Amino acid sequence: MRMQTLLVIGATGTIGEPIARQLRADGYHVRLLVRDLAKARSQLGSDFEYIQGSVEDGDAVKQALSGCIGVHLSLQAGSSPEAIERVEHLGALRVVELATQAHVGHLTYVSGMFVGAETDSAVLDDQAKRRVEQALHHSGIPFTIFRPTYFMDNLPKHLQGKRAILLGKQPHLLHLVAASDFGRMVSRAFQEPEACNRTFFIQGPEALLLSEALREYCSLLAPQAQVTTLPLWFMDVVDTLFLGKQMRRTLQMMQVLQRTGEIGDPSEANRILGAPTTTLRVWCEQQRLHAAGQSDTAGSAETARSARLEDEA
């Protein structure tokens, strides 16, 4: 029996990679649309089919969609308003339009937790995502929209040398979710008819302050790091004067989180797709084991290389 083909756009990202791997593990033939072919193959390996291109290239998108029963879309274009407009807005709309023309059976889309809420205009990329959601609703293609909370997988990005930076006070509890759990839920959405034409809020199994999450992460994986809180107004000045507004997107999200906290009810997602189960401690242990495995693999490769050199000598 021939495997069904799913297209994943955004598979080299922090969230997209676990989704692509889960779909492959669940028996799909997974095709990836990637900008940098060599980099993607090095990162993801040989279990996938690769098409070189981007959502800005209609011909590449058409080629990638050919023969697919579904497509998963997870785009992140940085903090530049121009890049967000080009990739996350117009590029995503191009995928929706071409997937509809190709009669693709299901499109899943990673949106933002605050999209559609009163606060979405405060986050630049959420404006683009809202337009994509609207296009999906009018497209006629079966869709599933995901609005996830903060991912555990973003915690390493807080590390700056011997400091783990907490942006703002962040006084609200968050149900951080593991990208691996999210990948399982996305895969389930392609298998579960009840997931079609729905919007799901995704939240993890335990409530923590972001400061608590960072302290636990550091205690288990980065014991040399100390959690340091930097005011959002201060980081906004630093970003404007010294960083070329590279952090604008992150700072906007943190400003909204500090003001309103987490929103959305995950009960329908949990019922239909299965609730996330990975706690932060378990996730940290998984990361530790993964890092140890990579170290062992690198050590074995170096030992083999040294042995070959000795034989040649």
User: Is the distance from CB of 20 to CB of 32 less than 8 angstroms?
Assistant: yes
**CA 115 to the chain's CA centroid:** 16
User: Which tens digits make up the pLDDT trace of 165-194?
Assistant: 999 999 999 999 999 999 999 999 999 999
Grade residue 78 by pLDDT with cuts at 50, 70 and 90.
Answer: confident
pLDDT at 302: 55
- Average pLDDT in the 192-217 region? 98
Please report the pLDDT score of residue 305 as a whole number: 58
Alpha-carbon span 211 to 56, nearest angstrom: 38
Look at residue 190 and give its three-state secondary structure: helix
Q: Which tokens go with 155?
A: 């915690």
Q: What is the pLDDT of residue 313?
A: 47
Residue 309, pLDDT > 50, answer no
Cα–Cα distance for residue pair 299/293, rounded to 1 Å: 10
Positive/negative CA dihedral, 61, 62, 66, 68? positive
Query: For 60-77, how does the pLDDT look when each residue is reduced to its tens digit (9 = 90+)?
Result: 999 999 999 999 999 998
CA distance 17 to 108: 15
Residue 20 has pLDDT above 90, yes or no: yes
Q: Which of 179, 151, 177 is nearest to 250 (CA)?
A: 151
How far is residue 50's CA from residue 70's CA, in Å, rounded to a whole number?
A: 16
Q: Where are the alpha helices (DSSP H) in the chain?
A: 16-25, 37-44, 58-65, 81-83, 92-101, 124-139, 179-191, 210-221, 232-242, 248-260, 267-273, 280-312
Tens digits of residue pLDDT in 106-126: 999 999 999 988 775 667 789
Superfamily of domain 5-294: NAD(P)-binding Rossmann-like Domain (3.40.50.720)
Angle at alpha carbon of residue 61, lines to 103 and 269, rounded to 5°: 60
Q: Which residues pair with 163 in a beta bridge?
A: 160, 226
Q: Which of 197, 188, 211 is nearest to 272 (CA)?
A: 188
Structure tokens at 259: 């003001």
Tokens for 280? Answer: 């932060």
| pLDDT grade for 292, boundaries at 50, 70 and 90 | confident
- Domain chopping of the chain, boundaries: 5-294
Q: Which tokens sit at 183?
A: 């990948």
What the block records as the tokens of 21 is: 């791997």
Sign (positive or negative) of CA dihedral 185, 264, 155, 278: negative
pTM of this structure: 0.92
Question: Is-contact 216 239, C-beta < 8 A?
Answer: no
Task: Please say whether the beta carbons of 31 and 6 come within 8 A.
Answer: yes
pLDDT digits (tens, 9 = 90+) for 208-258: 999 999 999 999 999 999 999 999 999 999 999 999 999 999 999 999 999
49 CB-side CA count, 13 A:
15
Kindly report the average pLDDT of the chain as a whole number.
93
**pLDDT (0 to 100) of residue 191:** 97
Query: How crowded is the C-beta side of 262, counted as CA atoms within 13 Å?
Result: 23
pLDDT value, residue 295: 64
pLDDT per position as a tens digit, 248-286: 999 999 999 999 999 999 999 999 999 999 999 999 999
Tell me the pLDDT band of 293, cut-offs 50, 70 and 90. Answer: confident
* pLDDT value, residue 118: 74
**Tens digit of pLDDT for each residue in 21-65?**
999 999 999 999 999 999 999 999 999 999 999 999 999 999 999
